[in-house]
Structure 1
Amino acid sequence: MVASSDKTDVELAAPKAPRGPWAYLNGIVDSKKSNPISLYACFLTGYTSALSFSACFIWCGFQTGNVAQLGIAVARTFDPIGERTYHFDKPDQQALTSVLAFLIGTTLGRIGDRIGAKKRTWLVLATFIQCLCCLAAALAAHYSGEGAYAQNRWGPSWATPLGMVCLAFLSASLGLQGIMGKRIGSPMNTTVVLTTTWVEIFNDPLLLSFKKQTGRDVRIGGVLSLLFGAFVSRALTNACGGAAGAIGCLCAFRMVQLVWWIFLPSPPEA
């Protein structure tokens, strides 16, 4: 008498799922579990942007204002009333630097599209690149010898070549963060620009509901996280004695995010 097998032929023929550290890193993360790390990204946006605004009145994460500033600079060449200028003043140069660096940073997201935008390998690699950008910014800020705060609108800090390099690396890091947030698919969208978030919050029909509403709650949390990030940035800039030390702390915050990506769970079906 032949004993019956406990497994079907289909089960025996089915390939085993790869296991091990590399297979785990090549797995994708669960977008539904990414809301907390998206809120943390908003904190980093507020932290980083507060550094650049304090130094030169440039929001390295919010490029809408920088583009508008460049439009105004071009319009001054045709000014029939005021004094015409045929060159970019230093604040305009800084705005252009931030816009271009941000675009370069976000273009790196094309690498993620090839690797897999939700794969841990890409998320960890991209965050490591952001860490390197912040490290380069900290070194540039230190060796520029410039202060962390602007004297006034027309006397910005980070006006030397090294200061502009610092601004560029910070802007590039947030450009890369923006495309990562977009691809993950969090209610916070890019985790960089919050104008759309404000619109969505105040047009949410469940805005005043006392029940848990994930989309609304995450968006409100993102705004508060950005606010807290800016507060912490200013406090650490004073405590660390300048922008270089505060950007060094930003490197540490980015490393926390890198480790967080590693341990973010995969979706149940993965």
Structure 2
Amino acid sequence: MTAEQASQQPNLSTGPEYAEQKAEALPQPVSSKDSHSTIVDTARLWTSPQTVFSRRHWMTDVDPIHSTFPLAAYCFMTGFIDSVSFTAVFVWCGFQTGNSVQLALALARLFSGPPGQRDTSFHIADQQALTSVLTFIAGASLGRIGDRMGAKTRAWLFLGTMIQALFTMAAALTAWKSGQGSIAEVRGDPAWTNALSFVALAFMSASLGLQGIMGKRVNTQFATTIVLTTVWCELMADPKLLNFRQRVISRDHKLIAIFALFLGGFVGRAIIDAKGAAATLGVGTGMRVVIAIWWLFVPGTGGKTGKPTTG
């Protein structure tokens, strides 16, 4: 690039969305004239398999711009896992806002009504909500390991996703050994009530807690890959929302996240109806292993492998 060309480059700001801003500011490659979708253009597997097993490759940061596929798969897993927990006990393993409010209502119930006639029991639905909240936090705390290894390194993204797979496998085994059903017909009558089913719920929540912190650390338009309320709001507020003449990462990746989570919930419920919760979680375990391996092939910053990140 000549000095004159460099002077014509736009002034890029720094911040949480620097990568997306940079991607939009740079000139489009010649191949962008082809009718390729956003998800293909931003997620090519450029990494050569021959370099996968080098230490430098493992300890290199992935390029957030080219992490579209595994992050979309994370969103898919959110819908997939939540379909199991909500179908069985009407608890969202990944959406802790509802669980937190439910616990607040349970506490307020202690003061409802005249003294001596108050409901002081700890309802099973509240117990399940508390289990989900606490284990979600515990799973998310494991994400601090990535701060030491490098939150965006392939090594941590692979290892962390494999831990998610182990949690999902443990949930499958405990759900199977619990011997209970998979579908609750009435909100007040959950399908899971024994100790092993609580353990299954705990492992599912922990897996999504860890996934959430890992997705957040990659720092893209996919956010945590779990909670989509913020994603919906940011999508509606995007100034380029209705600009259909060009690809807009800030809009398109949010749409991918929303669709992937919706698809995950649909597929999860379909498998539950056919094979049950334990089998569904078993399938989810295999999916997480595939995602873990996928991280090893995501290109490094600038589309190059083995290049340490700076700044």
Tell me if 1:73 matches 2:102: no
Q: 1:201 to 1:245 in 2, by over 3 A?
A: same
More displaced stretch, 201-210 vs 242-251? 201-210
Identity level (%): 47
Q: How far off is 1:226 after superposition?
A: 0.6
Q: How far off is 1:35 after superposition?
A: 2.0
Query: What pairs with 1:202-213 in structure 2 (closer than 5 Å)?
Result: 202-210=236-244, 211-213=246-248
Q: Is the 8 A contact 2:80 2:266 kept in 1?
A: yes
SS in 1 for 2:238: coil
Query: Per-residue displacement from partner, 1:207-243 (whole Å, max 9, x unpaired)?
Result: 1111211110110111111111000001111222x10
RMSD over aligned CA atoms reads: 1.6
Query: What pairs with 1:71-150 in structure 2 (closer than 5 Å)?
Result: 71-80=104-113, 84-150=118-184
Tell me if 1:234 matches 2:282: no
Q: Is the 8 A contact 2:89 2:191 kept in 1?
A: yes
Tell me if 1:41 matches 2:110: no
Q: Which residue does the alignment assign to 2:200? A: 166
Query: Per-residue displacement from partner, 1:4-47 (whole Å, max 9, x unpaired)?
Result: xxxxxxxxxxxxxx996222112211111112221111111000
Q: 1:222 to 1:80 in 2, by over 3 A?
A: same
Structure 2 unaligned blocks of 5 or more: 1-50
Q: Is the 8 A contact 1:157 1:163 kept in 2?
A: no
Q: Is the 8 A contact 1:42 1:226 kept in 2?
A: yes
Q: Is the 8 A contact 2:268 2:280 kept in 1?
A: yes
Q: Distance in 2 between matches of 1:81 and 1:55?
A: 34
Query: Per-residue displacement from partner, 1:176-218 (whole Å, max 9, x unpaired)?
Result: 0000011001101100100000100111121111121111011
Letter in 2 for 1:57: F
Structure 1 unaligned blocks of 5 or more: 1-17
TM-score for the superposition, normalised by structure 1: 0.90
Q: 1:205 to 1:140 in 2, by over 3 A?
A: same
Query: What pairs with 1:11-26 in structure 2 (closer than 5 Å)?
Result: 21-26=54-59
When Rg is computed on C-alpha atoms for both structures, the one with the higher figure is 1
Tell me if 1:190 matches 2:229: no
Tell me if 1:259 matches 2:293: yes
Pick aligned residue for 1:32 from 65, 73, 78: 65
SS in 2 for 1:263: coil
Q: Distance in 1 between matches of 2:85 and 2:243?
A: 37
Q: Which residue does the alignment assign to 2:188? A: 154
TM-score for the superposition, normalised by structure 2: 0.78
Tell me if 1:175 matches 2:231: no
Q: Is the 8 A contact 2:84 2:269 kept in 1?
A: yes
Letter in 1 for 2:220: S
